[in-house]
Structure 1
Amino acid sequence: MIRTLVVDDDYRIAQVHAAGVGRVDGFVAAGEAHSLAEARALVRTLRPDLLLLDLYLPDGHGLELMRSLHDTVPRPDFIVITAAQDIDSVRRAMQLGAVYYLVKPFGFAQLREQLAAYGRLRESLDGLDVANQETVDTLYGLLRGPAGHQAGRRRLPATMAQVLEQVRTAPRALSATEVAERLGVSRATAQRYLADLVRRGLLDLSLNYGTAGRPEHRYHVPRR
């Protein structure tokens, strides 16, 4: 289970978000904090995997907490949840390692989608010792939210659309080699389009570990 600490100065909103976390498979709300001081104390005692972090707190700014926990071992991940829409806040959150930035107000569906994306990322990272460019591209693609998924469906190049259709209609997840053979293109071409489809949120990547060697990359439609 991914232990999640909700940090928000509004007690009611914190309770709503904590309840939402509990409704997502694989996640549990480990606690709620309503100030920087309380959040720091709970990070030490609860050792959460993830913080849902508001930026406007009564005793300081949420980005201060991210900065202060930079060298914490193990360091939690952060999804920023805030009404702050200024680009400076977004840029600073990204620089400090936020895996996503949700602008309030947002509904449960959007929270669930982003938590699920984060869960897929953690699952893919588990047991992975090294990452080539293919793996890096697909890992970054796993964090794309629902807006990115919808945008990614628009105006696909013809070959990319054919790659997507091959995976969609297959009874099981396919490798780049299998897609290449079905379409009569090179593996490199198939791989390039598959990685792009993952970045767009239209396909998901699974890493299958064999008895030896690097994991096999297989692609399938997202399980929403």
Structure 2
Amino acid sequence: MIRTLVVDDDYRIAHVHAAGVGRVGGFTAVGKAHSAAETRSLVLTLQPDLLLLDLYLPDGHGLELMQSLRDRAPCPDFIVITAAQDIGSVRRAMQLGEVYYLVKPFGFAQLRDQLAAYRQLRNSIDGMAVASQETVDALYGILRGPVVRTADRRRLPATMAQVLDELRGASGELSATDVADRLGVSRATVQRYLADLVRRGLVDLSPSRGYTRRPEHRYRATGSPRPGP
């Protein structure tokens, strides 16, 4: 379970977001904080994996709080949830390494999608030893968040749709080389489409294992059964 601390000065909003976290598979809300001081204390005692962090706190700015928490170990990840729309706040949050920046007001569906993208990122990184360009492209695609939540094949470019069809029809996970060989197109083209499909939330990336020279990551259509050990 991804242990999540909700930070918001508004008690009602903090309760709503904590309830939303609890509705997303793989997450649990371990607490709620309503000030910078309370957040520091709870991070120390609860050691959450993720903070849903408002920027407007009564005793300090959320960006300053992020900076101070970055100096501690272990440091949680951050998804900023704020009404602040000035580009300076967005840029500073990016510099501090936030996972995503959600502008209030937003609905549960948007929160759910970003939490799901974060969960997919963690699952993909787990077990990885190296990061090829293919890996980096796929991981950054996940961080950009899902663009398409339903697999409407007609909205995809023709070759991308064929890549997705190959994964859906496979009995297990496939590599970019596997898909390229089946379709008769270049591996580089398939890699590009796979990274986009991961970003859209239609394909899951699995860490490569058992390689001798170059890692060959595996892919499966979202919702397909995972292979056994």
Give, in angstroms, the shift of residue 111 of structure 1.
Answer: 1.1
| Alignment correspondent of 1:111 | 111
Tell me how many residue pairs correspond in the alignment: 222
Q: Which runs of 5 or more residues in structure 2 are unaligned? A: 225-229
- State the percentage of identical aligned residues: 76
Measured in 1, the distance between the counterparts of 2:104 and 2:54 equals: 10
2:183 aligns with 183
Matches within 5 A, 1:149-164: 149=148, 156-164=156-164
Aligned-partner SS, 2:84: coil
TM-score, normalisation: structure 1: 0.88
| AA aligned opposite 2:3 | R
**Secondary structure, counterpart of 1:149 in structure 2:** coil
CA positional deviation for 1:45: 1.1
Which position in structure 1 is the counterpart of 2:75?
75
CA contact under 8 A between 2:3 and 2:48: conserved in structure 1? yes
1:141 maps to 141
Aligned CA-pair RMSD: 2.4
Q: Is the 8 A contact 2:132 2:215 kept in 1?
A: no
Deviates more, 1:156-165 or 1:14-23: 156-165
Give the aligned partner of residue 11 of structure 1.
11
Assess if the C-alpha contact under 8 Å between 1:52 and 1:80 holds in 2: yes
Residues 202 and 221 in structure 1, CA contact (< 8 A), matched pair in contact too: yes
Is the 8 Å Cα contact of residues 142 and 204 (structure 1) preserved in structure 2?
A: no
Q: Distance in 2 between matches of 1:78 and 1:34?
A: 16
Give the Å deviation of 1:103: 1.0
- What CA distance in whole angstroms lies between the structure 1 residues aligned with 2:44 and 2:214? 36
- 5+ residue gaps, structure 1: none
Q: Matches of 2:2 and 2:196 in 1, distance apart? A: 28
Task: Measure the CA separation in 1 of the matches of 2:28 and 2:213.
Answer: 34
CA contact (8 A) 1:141 1:201 kept: no
Partner residue in 2 for 1:84: 84
Give 1:29 shift.
Answer: 0.8
Rounded to whole Å, the distance in 2 between the matches of 1:149 and 1:140 is: 16
Hey, what does 1:36 align to over in structure 2?
Answer: 36
TM-score (norm 2): 0.87
Q: Tell me by how many angstroms 1:132 deviates.
A: 1.0
Superposed, 1:126-137 pairs within 5 Å as: 126-137=126-137
Counterpart-to-counterpart distance in 2, 1:116 and 1:189: 27
